[in-house]
């Protein structure tokens, strides 16, 4: 199976690069499934039903989120009836929506998407490792499901690497989101799971993690209250991770970063 995971979409410029490039990428890379992290797609804060629909229309199959999932409160009413939109798995019981779902892909194959959120330097939540383990309880990669992707939304690189190794051999890929900067560690772990600590964002890199740099820098320099952070408006780079799995085992055959558009050097999976 050929899967593309795109990191946190930030603001209008991030939405634009997704909407403009996904149809072309689907075709050029012969993709079976496209996942986008949309937690910052609504002007940097959260996501709306309209944005979800715009992403589905261009060929996005599933959307993950993160700590910003509830920034646009209307999404609380939408998420329960929208199986393609995931919120982090390890929120308290009774939280609207779901953090795991299984999708049918062309040819009757199945892809399971699991979306834990880390706890280091983030709000306290239930144990993300136990959450993933629970989600996998009745599923076996290559037996009951053809591909399993874990989007670990976390601040700490250590917690993300821990997640990769904890489920190495049990899932097709563990990929990180939230940091908004792509890491250079794409690899297949010893057990066969593809891994990259963070996919990076789909946004303008002439910014501070996607937000307009003047206000963001002033917050560090002056330590005085500033206006609200606004998303940067320059041309976005689409940052993603491409995964190809073995059709029999579901483990990774190839993993590589993808970067197109904007300021970062272009990179295509070989
Ligand atoms: Fe984010
Ligand atoms: Fe986040």
180 in catalytic set: no
Pairing of strands 173-177, 147-153: parallel
Question: Which ligand has an atom closest to residue 199 CA?
Answer: 1
115 Cα–ligand 2 center, Å:
12
**Which residue ranges make up each domain of the chain?**
2-260
Pairing of strands 2-6, 33-37: parallel
What does R_g of the chain's alpha carbons equal in angstroms?
A: 17
Taking the C-alpha atoms of residue 208 and residue 215, their distance in angstroms, rounded to an integer, is 9
pTM of this prediction exceeds 0.85: yes
The CATH fold of domain 2-260:
Purple Acid Phosphatase; chain A, domain 2 (3.60.21)
163 Cα–ligand 2 center, Å:
17
Question: Which ligand has an atom closest to residue 38 CA?
Answer: 1
Q: What does the pLDDT look like over 173-200, one tens digit per residue? A: 999 999 999 999 999 999 999 999 999 9
Contact of 35 with 4, CB cutoff 8 Å: yes
User: Which of 68, 115, 178, 180 is an active site residue?
Assistant: 68
Instruction: State how far the alpha carbon of 1 is from the alpha carbons of 21, 35, 267, in Å.
Output: 20, 13, 21
38 Cα–ligand 2 center, Å:
10
Q: What does the pLDDT look like over 90-140, one tens digit per residue? A: 999 999 999 999 999 999 999 999 999 999 999 999 999 999 999 999 999
Predicted local distance difference test score (pLDDT) of residue 267: 98
Question: Which ligand has an atom closest to residue 36 CA?
Answer: 1
Distance of CA 206 to the CA centre of its chain: 21
Contact of 21 with 260, CB cutoff 8 Å: yes
Neighbours of ion ligand 2 (CB under 5 A): 66-67, 178
43 Cα–ligand 1 center, Å:
12
Predicted local distance difference test score (pLDDT) of residue 95: 98
45 Cα–ligand 2 center, Å:
10
The average pLDDT across 17-36 equals: 98
Predicted local distance difference test score (pLDDT) of residue 140: 97
Give the rounded percent of residues in the chain with a pLDDT score beyond 90.
Answer: 98
Q: What does the pLDDT look like over 199-238, one tens digit per residue? A: 999 999 999 999 999 999 999 999 888 889 999 999 999 9
Contact of 115 with 65, CB cutoff 8 Å: yes
17 Cα–ligand 2 center, Å:
19
41 Cα–ligand 1 center, Å:
9
The average pLDDT across 6-20 equals: 98
Question: Which ligand has an atom closest to residue 9 CA?
Answer: 1
DSSP secondary structure letter of residue 87: -
């Amino acid at each position: 199976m050929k899967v593309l995971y795109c990191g946190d979409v930030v603001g209008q410029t991030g939405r634009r690069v997704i909407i403009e490039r996904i149809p072309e990428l689907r075709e050029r890379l012969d993709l079976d499934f496209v996942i986008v992290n949309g937690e910052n797609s609504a002007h940097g804060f959260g996501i709306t039903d309209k944005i979800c629909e715009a992403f589905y229309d261009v060929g996005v199959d599933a959307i993950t989120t993160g700590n910003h999932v509830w920034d646009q409160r209307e999404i609380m009413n939408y998420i329960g009836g929208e199986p393609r939109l995931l919120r982090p798995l390890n929120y308290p019981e009774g939280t609207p929506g779901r953090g795991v779902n299984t999708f049918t892909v062309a040819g009757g194959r199945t892809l399971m998407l699991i979306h834990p959120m880390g706890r280091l330097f983030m709000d306290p939540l239930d144990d993300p490792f136990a959450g993933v383990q629970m989600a996998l309880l009745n599923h076996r990669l290559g037996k009951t499901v053809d591909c399993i992707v874990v989007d670990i939304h976390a601040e700490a690189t250590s917690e993300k690497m821990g997640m990769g190794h904890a489920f190495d051999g049990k899932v097709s890929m563990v990929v990180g989101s939230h940091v908004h900067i792509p890491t250079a560690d794409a690899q297949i772990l010893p057990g066969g799971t593809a891994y990259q600590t963070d996919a990076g964002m789909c946004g303008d890199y002439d910014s501070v993690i996607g937000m307009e740099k003047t206000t963001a820098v002033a917050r560090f320099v002056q330590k005085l209250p500033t206006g609200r952070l606004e998303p940067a408006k320059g041309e976005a780079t689409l940052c993603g991770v491409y995964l190809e799995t073995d059709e029999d085992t579901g483990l990774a055959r190839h993993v590589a970063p993808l970067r197109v558009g904007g300021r970062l050097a272009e990179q295509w999976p070989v």
